[in-house]
A and B are shown apart, each in its own frame.
Chain A
């Protein structure tokens, strides 16, 4: 029953934000460095821990490429990550979860894979599907917060 409700909820709230697109994206009016700070706070408010921040721009600058802020935030909940990896080691590539933070001059684009878009690659496994729907809801809500966030 609970599982059913989650699925119903996931369906219900899955309309906006690039409806049904496998890559979820939002634009934030914040500068990338600020967007990253707000995202970090938001992720923690949703009960996740931050695993690390991957700098893609640093390495490129070293090789003399002009590149602006480009980072990826990795986050997860230890119990979830442990539980899923124990049963499904082939989920390893997708854990911890991640959101890319991409500078576009004074604005920022945030992008993440909609975990539900992976379901068909896991044979629509019902346990994973419920987990994917939960992650999707969290990522979507977090992104929406960034989309609406205005500097005080």
Chain B
């Protein structure tokens, strides 16, 4: 036991002493979403041109705050030195110096900013600032409405990280990569201040909630009054009735052992609605980690159980509000299917 504590102490001491390696930290924590050298992916691009618009303070705060409900996690466990190392590494891609913005900006009038926002920004950033179109980041392999999805401006992580002066600068210059135009000639300095003031009033939508009954549970579990085979049939009918396409069913142990020893009293009925799937993968490509939709039928001590993942609880792992909204709708459909099959 003592030896273990010693090893523990040694490892933590070593971790504390070594200077953090920005490249390694970026690859471990950021590149899955922002791609190598910030070319963009699920996350926004962090290229030369964009970095020239982002202050060090904003980037560091963005790492700390993340984007609640907009996929990017908050990295609370990184030390200041580690955040600093990532920042230094990212800056290395850019030939331009980090911009520094004045701390206090002239505050505009949100009431005057509202119509300006509606006229100039809403078609990309959405009525409430949540962003138009499904998903985030750069469009790579799948078709979407935008090449770069406009960021959510009502996001508390963005609002807490970006200063008024920096937002005004982005409006002035636009974002060429994502197709956001420069508003330097369209809006006066005063009007830009008004738009910024209006942006500050945008609120994130309230959190979505699934069924109370199943909240906090990993799976929806229902007992069937029928035998095993009858239940499977009833379930397939209910799924087809809900307009899903059924795939060939698979035993839960199938492929893990030979066909003679597979337990045939545990089966997964798999189904999908491709149109919906396509839409969902645009919202969050990571969704495959919980796909496809599957309702399992298991026989346990003479009882037949239907078991399906609680998709509202699962959706919470994705930090993606758009996805959680769909999960609440899907939950209703899946519970209705399960109820129908066990009626």
Residue numbers of A with Cβ under 8 A of B are 5, 8, 12, 15-23, 25-27, 29, 49-52, 54, 56, 59-60, 62-63, 65-72, 74, 76-78, 81-82, 85, 89-96, 98-105, 107, 109, 111-113, 117-118, 120-122, 147
A54–B317 touching, CB < 8 Å: no
B4 within 8 A of A: yes
Residue numbers of B with Cβ under 8 A of A are 4, 8, 11, 15, 27-29, 31-33, 35-36, 41-42, 73, 75, 77-78, 140-143, 216-219, 221, 245, 250, 252-257, 263, 266, 268, 272, 274-275, 277-278, 281, 285-292, 294, 296, 298, 300, 305, 307-310, 313-314, 317-318
Main secondary structure of the interface of A (DSSP, over half): mixed
A26–B32 touching, CB < 8 Å: yes
Least distance between A57 CB and chain B CB atoms (Å): 9
Question: Which 5 residue pairs are nearest across A and B when measured between Cβ atoms?
Answer: A100-B288, A68-B141, A93-B309, A121-B218, A51-B255
Which residues on B sit within 8 Å (CB–CB) of A120? 216
Which residues on B sit within 8 Å (CB–CB) of A65? 142-143, 274, 278
Which residues on A sit within 8 Å (CB–CB) of B255? 49-52, 74, 96
B310–A121 touching, CB < 8 Å: yes
Jot down 30 A-B pairs with beta carbons below 8 A, ordered by A.
A5-B4, A18-B32, A23-B289, A25-B32, A29-B36, A49-B255, A52-B254, A54-B291, A56-B288, A59-B274, A59-B277, A65-B274, A68-B142, A70-B141, A70-B281, A70-B285, A70-B288, A72-B291, A74-B255, A85-B252, A91-B219, A92-B252, A93-B296, A94-B218, A101-B288, A107-B36, A109-B32, A111-B289, A120-B216, A122-B218
Least distance between B302 CB and chain A CB atoms (Å): 13
A92–B291 touching, CB < 8 Å: no
> A58 vs B294: C-alpha distance in the bound complex, in angstroms?
18
> A77 vs B285: C-alpha distance in the bound complex, in angstroms?
27
Q: A60-B277, A67-B142, A76-B256 are in contact. List 11 more A-B contacts (CB 8 A).
A: A12-B11, A19-B75, A21-B73, A49-B256, A51-B255, A52-B250, A65-B143, A69-B141, A81-B253, A89-B305, A113-B290
A63–B278 touching, CB < 8 Å: yes
B32–A98 touching, CB < 8 Å: no
- Residue of A59, A74, A92, A112 with most partner-chain B CB within 10 A: A92
Which residues on B sit within 8 Å (CB–CB) of A8? 4, 8
> A56 vs B27: C-alpha distance in the bound complex, in angstroms?
27
A85–B143 touching, CB < 8 Å: no
